Chain A
Amino acid sequence: MRKYLARRALFALGTLVGVSLIIFVVLRILPGDPLVAILGVEGHARMTPADRVRIMHDLGLSDPLPVQYVHWLRDIATGKLGKSFFRGDTVAELILHRGPISAEIGFLALVVSWLVGLPVGIVSAIKPNSWADNVARSLAILFIAIPGFWLSMLIVLALLFWFGYKAPLIIVHVWESPWENLQIVIGPAIVLGLAQGAYIARMSRSCLLEVIGEDYVRTARAKGAPERQVVLGHALPNALLPVITISGVLLGFVLGGSVAVEQAFGVPGLGRSLVTALIERDIIVVQNLVLLYAVIFVLVNFVVDLSYAWLDPRIRYA
């Protein structure tokens, strides 16, 4: 198990170094001048070459690329992650303020996806091709197909025009006011959770169907075990392994999807910060947020790998 752990950890680290290099290089070769966003179009038009040299130097953008990369690593090591080009806030401050909201949305989305996806998958698997199965499968396809940002906009508009309702405009953390906090996170969590729930429903259905046909399930039934125990106690734990794996992958979709969904709901989370930073070409913020997303994704998959190995001994001894 230790060897397995070390090997996975090494892969994870290598992935992160690779991601950091790709983000760093891509952001620096993309066209577009960050000084347009800093100085505005009028200021940018009036900037002299001497002004440009001075400002680029102040921002640390005139250093050679390897030096800039080392500076970034140094900023990561200090925990501040560097400063935004613009208002001078550190990226760590930004993450500390907005991260909890995005984390809540991600966590709730995952909970929603399991709460919805798993029962639907079980019902579908127990009664395949019944009307319940057909409805469940149709809904699953629907939620996979609908773009999250579009559904979000529909929800925002429906709430506004039917109930005159709009969620709080600024971040309210759960420890400040749980009720207001819930109003901010619940919409994006449901939209993201339903989409992922559809995947989980389909995956759990097919896995459960496969497991239900296994010999040991037939044996359990032959021994007279009640159907509930057969399904939930014997078949489901084994059918869950691929579902756990896919949940790790789906978290990546949740992170990616949150960018558009936060924007549509007007939630000032990290996803929205990433969009704004891209528009402003605030490359320090972009590179750190993308790296953060990569770290989360790699970590979750690392944990999934470990839990998989823990749940199925064949994997860790392979």
Chain B
Amino acid sequence: MSDQPVSGPRSRTLSRRTFLRAAGVVGGASLGPAVLRRRAEAQETPSPIRPDPAAKRGGTLRYAVHNAPAHFDVHQSGTVANIGPQSPMYDCLIRRDPRDGQSIIPDLAWKWDISPDGKKYTFYLRKGVKFHDGADFTAEDVKATYDRIVRAPTGVVIPRSSLFTTVGEIVIVDPHRIEFRLTEARPKAFMLGSFASGWNIIVRKKTLEENQGNLRQVMNFPGTGPFKHVSRKDKEVWIMERNPNYWNKGLPYLDKLEIYHMFPFSPELGSSFLAGKIDYARLLDPVSWRKAKEMPNVTAAAFNQSVIQAFWMNMKKKPLADPRVRRAIHLAMDRPTLVEVVKDTAPMQLGGFVYPFHGMSTPKAELEKRLGYQRDIKPAVQEARRLMQEAGYGQGIKGLDFVVRDIQTFKLWAVAIQAMLKEHINIETNLRTVQTSVWFDEAAAGNFDLAISAIVSSLMDPSDYFTAWYGQNGPQNYSGWSNEQFHALAKQIERELDDTKRKAMVRKAEDILEQDPPLIPIAYEQIYDAYYNKVKGQNPSTFFGIYDVCRWDNVWLAQS
């Protein structure tokens, strides 16, 4: 009908009905493609987390995590004090699925391609995403973010830069497509794990330019995340509200987040949770966690964390340069007892030189049969004494300076280790307890014989911490350890793209480390969380660490 030319007297008078019909046709014709395009885009760029049909909207989640951050620059941080409260305001390129904490799913990049030679990663970015200040998100922001992470300017220290050492060029193909060109291929799991690390939040290019690349003192820089900053009281609480324009429609469910700063494992955190002042507590002390576990309306979860607790031995000191002495010290440790010693202070588990819960490490059951990890320590002690004899220290060693970081677990362990060394291989140590900042000074300067502390890795992947902890000039190789065979193997592990071959190599590396220990592993940390059952959508039991899943976008409250 509308295709026919309009003629005759009726055509000259425009009725209301004709006008509306015509307007409808014109409007529909003009809007149609936009609607269809948006629908097509939505189908093309599916949301990684579909809203849960059972979920309820609204409510305020009161969450407690760690003490206040020292600064606000998430990229420059290595502590949950930053990522805990700030993560809900930001997104990454890709992310770990909050439902299991492990699989990698799309985030601001809705899909990605990896070239067959493994040297080019192309990310396709979502359209229509806005920062909290209303600016459009584009590939320029991704490039600015990653330029900074990969090659940080002077005075900006980013612990994850080492994950991207092979990134040569970052090229913007179009406003919503970006390529990372690698100088040489790395295992996919390593690269994707690096991109999915919760630390690598996308920041606006303009924000970085305005602050000369340093966000340490910029509290509220805009993100694209599910929650927006409302207010912050230093060392007390950070309050955020739902981002109504969040690109993942339907999320988040919560109206408001109140994130309280409380020291990990502290009585304050425990009492606040047990008294019902907070809904979700992270890093609970074991005593409060056990009490929480007995409560009928509470879920108490335990999961693995990417922290090794260990002590280092100064290779510049003569007896400790001998691998036999270091292995003897390694074997003299009664690890099940060491885990027991701190059971009311911090949750720990047995482990060797590789994360015990990682697929590439020696399985726990197998590890527990190995000398140095068995419940019955007699065979290990016998072997330790033999090694000391062989190294010429059968009478023991006297007066070793044992530097202890002033934290409860290390103080408890230091006394136990001192006793084990004396009793098992007649090594006498003098404990010297120092503050954390002094410990790292002393460790870096080599002013110690033995030094006990804990270190974190950015990724669970061995290639990350084989470089940082055990690498020849690794930043956390406080022992000053070196082993040519290991370093050569570590380089091969970095480059090996076949997972099966890589796993075999990691096992071989473990054997080298067992015989020539660069440090003495004591235990691996676990995390204790507890939450009231009204908190839904969170299942931390399968998480690897606390750094990748802390955005709260899929969490909801049964009673709001």
Which residues does A use to contact B, with CB under 8 Å? 31-34, 36-48, 50-51, 54-55, 58, 86-89, 94, 97, 153, 156-157, 160, 164-166, 168-171, 266, 268, 272-273, 276, 279-281
Contacts of B444 in A (CB 8 A): 45
Which residues of chain B come closer than 8 Å to A280, judged between CB atoms?
70
Counting contact residues on chain B (CB < 8 A from A), the size range is: 35 or more
B77's partner among A32, A34, A43, A170 (CB-CB below 8 A) is A43
When A169-B277, A276-B235 are in contact, do A46 and B217 touch as well, CB less than 8 Å? Answer: no
Verify B77–A54 contact, CB threshold 8 A. no
By a CB distance below 8 angstroms, the chain B residues around A34 are: 437
Knowing A36-B436, A170-B236, A268-B236, say if A51 contacts B155 (CB, 8 Å): yes
| Contact call B441/A160, Cβ cutoff below 8 A | no
State which of B156, B236, B276 has its C-beta within 8 Å of the C-beta of A164. B276
- Are B78 and A41 interface neighbours, CB within 8 A? yes
Contact A46 B154 (CB under 8 A): no
Q: Decide if B236 touches A171 in the complex (CB within 8 Å).
A: yes
* A171 proximity list for chain B (CB < 8 A): 233, 236
Q: How far is the CB of A107 from chain B (nearest CB, A)?
A: 22
Cα distance A273–B155 when bound, in Å? 27
Q: Of the 9-residue stretches B266-274, B356-364, B538-546, which lies at the interface with chain A?
A: B266-274
Q: What are 22 contact pairs spanning A and B, CB under 8 A?
A: A31-B441, A33-B438, A36-B437, A38-B71, A41-B78, A41-B440, A41-B453, A45-B468, A51-B155, A54-B154, A87-B217, A87-B219, A88-B217, A88-B219, A164-B276, A165-B275, A166-B272, A166-B275, A169-B236, A171-B233, A276-B68, A279-B435
Contacts of B276 in A (CB 8 A): 164
* A contact residues around B277 at 8 Å (CB): 166, 168-169
> Does residue B108 face the partner (Cβ distance < 8 Å to A)?
no
**Contact across chains for B233 and A170 when beta carbons are under 8 A apart:** yes
Known: A33-B437, A41-B455. A268 touches B162 (CB 8 A): no
For A51, the chain B residues whose CB sits under 8 A away are 154-157
Residues in B with CB closer than 8 Å to A170 are 233, 236-237, 260
> Digit string of B474-506 for contact with A (CB within 8 Å is 1, else 0)?
011000000000000000000000000000000
Query: How far, in Å, is B283 (CB) from chain A's closest CB?
Result: 16
| Known A-B contacts A36-B436, A88-B217; A46 and B234 likewise in contact (beta carbons under 8 Å) | no
Chain B nearest CB from A164 CB (Å) reads 6
Is A43 touching B76 in the complex (CB atoms < 8 A)?
A: yes
Other-chain contact of B234, A40, A55, A87 (Cβ < 8 Å): A87
In the assembled complex, the Cα of A47 lies from the Cα of B476 at a distance in Å of 11
Whether the pair B437, A89 counts as a contact (CB closer than 8 A) is: no
Chain B at the A interface: mostly helix, strand, loop or mixed? loop
A160 to B475, CA, bound (A): 44
CB distance from B518 to the nearest CB of A (A): 15
Contacts A170-B236, A266-B268; A87 near B68 (Cβ below 8 A): yes
Q: Which 3 A-B pairs have the closest CB atoms?
A: A54-B155, A88-B217, A42-B78
Bound-state Cα–Cα, A54 to B76, Å:
15
Q: For residue B77, which residues in chain A have a CB less than 8 angstroms away from its CB?
A: 40, 43
Q: Would you list which residues of chain B between 65 and 83 have a CB under 8 Å from chain A? A: 67-72, 76-79
Q: Which of B162, B217, B234, B441 is the one whose CB lies under 8 Å from A33? A: B441
Alpha-carbon distance A268/B272, docked complex (angstroms): 14
**Distance A171 CA – B77 CA, assembled complex (angstroms):** 27
Name B440-491 residues within 8 Å CB distance of A.
440-441, 444, 453, 455-456, 458, 468, 475-476
Binary per-residue interface labels of chain B (69-104) against chain A in the complex, 1 for a CB within 8 Å, 0 otherwise: 111100011110000000000000000000000000
Q: Which of B217, B274, B278, B438 contacts A160 (CB 8 A)?
A: B274
Chain B hits for A276, CB < 8 A:
67-68, 235
**In the assembled complex, which residues on chain A have CB atoms less than 8 Å from the CB atom of B224?**
none
Instruction: Report the Cα distance A88→B219, complex, angstroms.
Output: 9
Given known A38-B71, A166-B275, contact A46–B159 (CB-CB < 8 A): yes
